């Protein structure tokens, strides 16, 4: 006799949204020479951030401030909103779960794009929501189809990322604002802007905290180079942000992460330098793809999605041949998008390896 899980949990598969490079390395019994698949910022955090972590490392015995007071106030000043319009959490992934918990119960319809960020789907399944997906159109999330699905299903929650993962594409701010204006006021939009710092300024609508049905989520994982420290934040109307305090893990943040995020936010000069490096690396990945007869999809993120020109089985073969050659990349899995592989930006030495190995992988996959 064993303790019984509730039926919902018992019905779910025991899995994770992503297979990490570490799991693949254990399976292969060897390390990757080029880690270009996890959308990390291989350029790393600012030297000022590393110095701040080192300075305060001895304080790691302390719990972090459960109110995230200093970081919330710094973010509020940076974004020109009030601290009450911001909630800090353990990465966007955790904040997505908290948001889903607030608006979704068993059977609740939730709208997203087919092939969009799978961690969101993971949370919807975990709370028993009914996922409604719409296909991408021209390698972008289809705003018109998302809106139609919301209205048809009377969905209280819709997820949209701009720029997008896994394709790297984006919509201009005017298009996003029209989408928001057309949403029913009873539908909460999670606008995931994890790649906002690497995107054109024209893609980001002005922050309007008077809109009670928009939660904008951002992170220190990408451009700021702190993926391993897990720090994200959501911006929204005070009433909606206050609701997070009812259920969040108040001691979920660690002290060194708070310190690192504060230091990263202060060092905007370094951020601008890193964004320049990311853009240069995107250009190089695109050039490598095109030199091998492939099409690079224009990207506003820290990765480039490459159209391999055939079907999903061929793209998967290319991915596996790269992994065999110590190059870690990933690929979209949804129909229509699965013809692609996705390559994160990295240091020149890693891109050198990718450039050397891609033609061999293509030859082996054909």
Q: Are 358 and 292 in contact (CB under 8 A)?
A: yes
The predicted structure's pLDDT at residue 298: 98
What CATH fold (topology level) applies to the domain 19-44+269-365? 3.90.1150
The predicted structure's pLDDT at residue 1: 82
CATH architecture of 47-266: 3-Layer(aba) Sandwich (3.40)
The predicted structure's pLDDT at residue 125: 96
The Cα–Cα gap between 214 and 350 comes to 39
The predicted structure's pLDDT at residue 262: 98
Q: List Cα–Cα distances, 280 to 61, 124, 275, 286, in angstroms.
A: 40, 36, 9, 10
The predicted structure's pLDDT at residue 18: 81
H or E segment to which residue 89 belongs: strand 86-89
Q: Is the pLDDT of residue 148 over 90?
A: yes
**Using 50, 70 and 90 to split pLDDT, how confident is the model at 14?**
confident
Which residues are bridge partners to 330 per DSSP? 342
Cβ contacts of 354 within 8 Å, gap of 6 or more = 34, 36, 285, 288, 322, 327, 329, 343, 346
The predicted structure's pLDDT at residue 335: 95
Cβ neighbours of 181 (radius 10 Å): 8
Mean pLDDT (whole number) for 124-153? 98
The predicted structure's pLDDT at residue 16: 76
The Cα–Cα gap between 71 and 260 comes to 10
Domain boundaries of the chain, sorted by first residue: 19-44+269-365, 47-266
Q: Are 207 and 235 in contact (CB under 8 A)?
A: yes
The Cα–Cα gap between 66 and 232 comes to 15
Which residues are bridge partners to 34 per DSSP? 327
**Using 50, 70 and 90 to split pLDDT, how confident is the model at 2?**
confident
Q: Is the pLDDT of residue 267 over 80?
A: yes
The Cα–Cα gap between 217 and 87 comes to 10
The predicted structure's pLDDT at residue 312: 97
């Amino acid at each position: 006799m064993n303790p019984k899980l509730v039926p919902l949990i018992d019905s779910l598969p025991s899995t994770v949204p992503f297979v990490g490079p570490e799991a693949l390395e254990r399976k292969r019994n060897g390390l990757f020479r080029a880690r270009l698949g996890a959308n990390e910022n291989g350029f790393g955090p600012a030297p000022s951030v590393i110095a701040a972590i080192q300075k305060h490392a001895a304080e790691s015995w302390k719990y972090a401030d459960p109110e995230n007071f200093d970081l919330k106030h710094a973010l509020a000043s940076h974004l020109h909103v009030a601290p009450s319009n911001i909630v800090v959490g353990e990465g966007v992934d955790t904040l997505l779960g908290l948001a889903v918990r607030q608006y979704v119960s068993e059977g609740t319809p939730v709208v997203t794009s087919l092939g969009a960020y799978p961690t969101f789907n993971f949370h919807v399944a975990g709370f028993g929501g009914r996922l409604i997906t719409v296909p991408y159109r021209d390698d972008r999330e289809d705003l018109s189809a998302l809106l139609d699905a919301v209205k048809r299903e009377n969905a209280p929650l819709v997820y949209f990322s701009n720029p997008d993962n896994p394709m790297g594409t984006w919509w201009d701010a005017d298009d996003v604002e029209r989408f928001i204006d057309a949403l029913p006021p009873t539908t909460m939009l999670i606008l995931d802007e994890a790649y906002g710092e690497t995107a054109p300024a024209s893609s980001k609508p002005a922050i309007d905290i008077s809109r009670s049905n928009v939660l904008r989520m951002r992170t220190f994982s990408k451009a700021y180079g702190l993926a391993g420290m897990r720090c994200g934040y959501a911006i929204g109307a005070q009433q909606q942000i206050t609701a997070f305090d009812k259920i969040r893990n108040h001691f979920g943040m660690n002290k060194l992460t708070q310190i690192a995020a504060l230091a990263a936010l202060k060092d905007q000069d370094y951020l601008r330098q890193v964004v320049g490096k990311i853009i240069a690396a995107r250009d190089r990945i695109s050039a490598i793809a095109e030199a091998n007869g492939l099409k690079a999809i224009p990207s506003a993120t820290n990765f480039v999605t490459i159209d391999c020109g055939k079907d999903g089985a061929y793209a998967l073969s290319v991915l596996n041949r790269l992994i065999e050659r110590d190059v870690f990349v990933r690929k979209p899995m949804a129909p229509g998008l699965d013809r692609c592989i996705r390559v994160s930006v990295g240091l020149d030495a890693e891109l050198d390896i990718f450039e050397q190995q891609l033609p061999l992988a293509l030859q082996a996959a054909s």
